[in-house]
Amino acid sequence: MLQAILKKFDINNKELVIVGAGNVATSLIDTIALRNIKPKKITIANRTYGKAKLLAEKLPNIDNILKLSELGNTSGDILINATELGGSATDDVFNEDIVSKYKGVVDVTFKTENTNLTTLAKKLNIVCSSGWDFFTFQGKVFLEDVLGIAINVEILKKYVYEGLKTNV
Ligand SMILES: NC(=O)c1ccc[n+]([C@@H]2O[C@H](COP(=O)([O-])OP(=O)(O)OC[C@H]3O[C@@H](n4cnc5c(N)ncnc54)[C@H](OP(=O)(O)O)[C@@H]3O)[C@@H](O)[C@H]2O)c1
């Protein structure tokens, strides 16, 4: 996921607001630390506050934790949805007031090409990276690992998008 984000954004010295405290959020925050990338601030907002608290105890690069209901009271440079909202769960969280506070938006869900979140970002002219981009980069990493050759992400993206359009 980090590769998909870095393709669009320089996250060094930026304030990241990550919604979610599950596998994707954990892996992202951990990889940011492993790669020695230094955002200015990492905030996580999660539906289950206790899970966010446990994660912050485990990962020292998390600066701030919020209840999901407090998301509207915060802001930052990049908003990252690392939950099922907009995918298998109906998105009743992201709205124009929230999204307009950010310069960049990242989504992970891939049930559709344009989720509520990415649609709002595009409407507000905010740079965004979608769950389909994330999916493409996962494929790139996997193929490079298996085949041992560099994969052109733009060519792969074309096929991944065609495949997702047909099958999702
Ligand atoms: N694009 C890709 O290639 C790709 C790859 C992997 C995963 N994903 C997507 O990433 C998302 C997260 O995956 P994961 O493995 O991190 O899942 P996970 O470990 O089960 O974590 C799920 C997260 O979503 C939150 N959540 C779930 N339903 C919610 C709702 N209705 N309202 C608010 N928060 C909700 C959970 O909050 P609680 O802690 O409160 O339960 C938790 O923070 C999934 O949608 C998955 O499909 C995409």
User: What confidence tens digit (pLDDT) does each residue in 93-136 have?
Assistant: 999 999 999 999 999 999 899 999 999 999 999 999 999 999 99
CATH of the domain at 20: 3.40.50.720
**Does residue 157 share a domain with residue 120?**
no
**Does residue 106 share a domain with residue 79?**
yes
**Does residue 106 share a domain with residue 32?**
yes
**Does residue 152 share a domain with residue 73?**
no
Checking 139-142 for CB contacts under 8 A at 24+ apart, the result is 140/3, 141/3
**Does residue 66 share a domain with residue 106?**
yes
Q: What is the count of structural domains for the chain? A: 2
Report residue 125 as tokens: 């002219």
Mean pLDDT, range 75-80, rounded to an integer: 97
Q: Which domain holds residue 23?
A: 2-131
Q: Residue 148 phi/psi, 5° resolution?
A: 70, 25
Tokens 């607001």, residue located: 17
Contact 83, 28 (CB under 8 A): no
Tell me the pTM: 0.95
Q: 86 CB less than 6 Å from ligand 1?
A: no
Distance 20 CA to ligand 1 centre (A): 7
Whole-angstrom distance, CA of residue 121 vs CA of residue 39 = 21
**Does residue 141 share a domain with residue 126?**
no
| Protein residue closest via CA to atom 15 of ligand 1 | 23
Query: Position 83: which residue type?
Result: T
**Does residue 34 share a domain with residue 95?**
yes
Q: For residue 87, give the ligand 1 atom closest to its CA.
A: 45
Tokens 């990252």, residue located: 80
Cβ atoms < 10 Å from Cβ of 115:
25
User: What confidence tens digit (pLDDT) does each residue in 81-97 have?
Assistant: 999 999 999 999 999 99
| Protein residue closest via CA to atom 5 of ligand 1 | 135
**Does residue 6 share a domain with residue 79?**
yes
